[in-house]
């Protein structure tokens, strides 16, 4: 029963991301990562034995801990990517604000000059 629930959850997640991308509320390039996450959930809920097999190969005694490890890596990586985007966006925003202030200053000076003519 729980397998069907999680398979459904995986599909729902993929659909949700797809709708967001379609409505231009989520960038296509960033959505790939999340769709892959959804596919992973779907795949693992249908074939839960995969985790056991991978754990056996890696020598992990308690297979669910592999699941937690993978989930942690996924989350940490996505937070790191976010921080990276924020840094770049902040720097670009600062540059734009600077340029805006300089242009505004130029515009005010020009209009003052015209008034004085």
Partner 1 sequence: MDRILIVIPVYNEEKNIRRVILDIQKNFNSADIIAVNDMSTDNTVKELDAMGINHLDLPFNMGYAGALQAGLKYATRNGYNFVVQFDGDGQHLAKEIGKLYKQITTNKSDIVIGSRFKINTDYPHPLFRKIGSWIFSLLIRLTCRKKITDPTSGFQILSRRVFTEYSEMFNYPQFPDANLIIKMLLHEYKIEEIPVEMRKREHGESMHTGLIAPMKYMIKIFYSILIIILTFKFNNPKGEGGSDV
Question: 81 or 98, CB closer to partner 1?
Answer: 98
Q: What's the CA angle centered on 106, arms 104 and 109, to 5 degrees?
A: 110
How near is the Cβ of 29 to partner 1 at its closest, in Å?
Answer: 22
* CA-based radius of gyration for the chain: 25
Q: Where are the alpha helices (DSSP H) in the chain?
A: 2-22, 28-46, 49-58, 63-116
How near is the Cβ of 98 to partner 1 at its closest, in Å?
Answer: 4
Residues that bind partner 1 (CB under 8 A): 91, 94, 97-102, 104-105, 109
How near is the Cβ of 100 to partner 1 at its closest, in Å?
Answer: 6
Assess contact for 73 and 65: CB atoms under 8 A: no
Question: 56 or 108, CB closer to partner 1?
Answer: 108
Question: 56 or 88, CB closer to partner 1?
Answer: 88
């Amino acid at each position: 029963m729980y397998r069907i629930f999680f398979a459904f959850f995986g599909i729902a997640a993929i659909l949700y991301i797809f709708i967001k991308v379609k409505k231009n509320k989520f960038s296509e390039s960033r959505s790939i990562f999340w769709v892959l996450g959804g596919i992973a959930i779907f795949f693992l809920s249908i074939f839960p034995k995969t985790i056991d097999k991978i754990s056996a190969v890696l020598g992990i005694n308690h297979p669910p801990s592999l699941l937690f490890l993978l989930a942690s890596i996924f989350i940490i990586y996505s937070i790191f990517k976010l921080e990276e985007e924020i840094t770049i966006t902040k720097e670009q925003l600062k540059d734009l604000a600077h340029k805006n202030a300089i242009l505004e200053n130029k515009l005010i000076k020009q209009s003052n000059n015209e008034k004085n003519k």
